[in-house]
């Protein structure tokens, strides 16, 4: 699957149909402009491949190299880049408008752990029934919760009422 994606990027050996190409040797020195057939003959003499690396140049640039080794190195670099990528997840914590102080402290501790892992945290309260008439109480709960985090979080989105929910988004403090 990846092989075809990499192969589609480069024309090799007999696929190169240009009349003239600029050729770079395996050591990296310029051999000059020559016909594609002559460049292919030189590559075959060295038991290597002729690879078109810059098709948009005039004339196109081709390099004499071991294509299998080049492909392997490119796949290895891509894998290394994927490994080094940090994916930021959004975790979610649910509170209620009638939450007790002890429960709020437990949730705050869990939130600090999530922020410590480098994740963002979405804090939400779902209002039920008559609670919707007292949304300001829910916003107060959110602000108390944020104060309990002790400066370990930054508010990306302040507590806002959206329909039946009150949402706040936190990210780790620098």
Confidence class for position 8, pLDDT limits 50, 70, 90:
low
Is the model's pLDDT at 91 over the cut of 50?
Answer: yes
Examine the domain organization and report whether 97 and 154 are in the same domain. Answer: yes
- Domain endpoint, select from 59, 82, 105: 82
Is the model's pLDDT at 52 over the cut of 70?
Answer: yes
Examine the domain organization and report whether 121 and 146 are in the same domain. Answer: yes
Number of domains in the chain: 2
Ramachandran region, residue 52 (left: φ > 0; alpha: ψ -120 to 50; beta: rest)? beta
Examine the domain organization and report whether 44 and 114 are in the same domain. Answer: no
Taking residues 44-54, what's their average pLDDT? 86
Examine the domain organization and report whether 73 and 100 are in the same domain. Answer: no
Give the CA distances from residue 156 to residues 120, 124, 137, 153, in Å, rounded to whole numbers and listed in that order: 9, 14, 21, 9
- Domain endpoint, select from 82, 100, 118: 82
Examine the domain organization and report whether 77 and 95 are in the same domain. Answer: no
Taking residues 61-76, what's their average pLDDT? 88
Alpha-carbon gap, residue 33 to 117, rounded angstroms? 55
Instruction: List strands edge to edge, sheet with 30-35.
Output: 11-12, 49-54, 61-65, 20-24, 30-35
Is the model's pLDDT at 27 over the cut of 80?
Answer: yes
Examine the domain organization and report whether 61 and 103 are in the same domain. Answer: no
Lowest model confidence (mean pLDDT) among 79-83, 105-109, 141-145:
79-83
Which CATH number belongs to the domain containing residue 20 in this structure?
Answer: 3.10.20.80
Alpha-carbon gap, residue 12 to 36, rounded angstroms? 11
Is the model's pLDDT at 84 over the cut of 90?
Answer: no
Examine the domain organization and report whether 72 and 49 are in the same domain. Answer: yes
Examine the domain organization and report whether 142 and 159 are in the same domain. Answer: yes
Is the model's pLDDT at 9 over the cut of 80?
Answer: no
**Res 109: pLDDT:** 92
pTM of the model: 0.52
- Structural domain range at position 168: 90-172
60 in Cβ contact with 51 (< 8 Å): no
8 vs 106: which has the higher pLDDT: 106
Examine the domain organization and report whether 128 and 75 are in the same domain. Answer: no
Taking residues 97-123, what's their average pLDDT? 90
Examine the domain organization and report whether 51 and 96 are in the same domain. Answer: no
Examine the domain organization and report whether 67 and 103 are in the same domain. Answer: no
Strand partners, 151: none
Alpha-carbon gap, residue 83 to 106, rounded angstroms? 33
* Tokens read off for 4: 């075809």
- Domain endpoint, select from 44, 59, 82: 82
Is the model's pLDDT at 2 over the cut of 70?
Answer: no
Is the model's pLDDT at 163 over the cut of 60?
Answer: yes
Examine the domain organization and report whether 19 and 36 are in the same domain. Answer: yes
């Amino acid at each position: 699957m990846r092989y075809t994606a990499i192969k589609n990027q480069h024309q090799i050996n007999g696929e190169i149909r240009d009349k003239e190409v600029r050729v770079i040797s395996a050591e990296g020195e310029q051999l000059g402009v020559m016909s594609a057939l002559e460049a292919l003959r030189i590559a075959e003499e060295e038991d290597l491949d002729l690879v078109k690396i810059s098709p948009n140049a005039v004339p196109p640039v081709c390099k004499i190299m071991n294509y299998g080794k080049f492909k392997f190195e490119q796949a290895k670099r891509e894998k290394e880049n994927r490994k080094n990528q940090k994916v930021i997840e959004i975790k979610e914590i649910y509170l209620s408008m009638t939450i007790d102080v002890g429960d709020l402290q437990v949730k705050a501790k869990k939130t600090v752990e999530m922020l410590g892992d480098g994740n963002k945290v979405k804090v939400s309260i779902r209002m039920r029934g008559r609670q919707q008439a007292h949304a300001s109480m829910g916003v107060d709960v959110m602000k108390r919760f944020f104060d309990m985090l002790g400066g370990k979080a930054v508010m990306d989105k302040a507590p806002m009422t959206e329909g039946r929910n009150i949402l706040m988004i936190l990210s780790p403090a620098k």
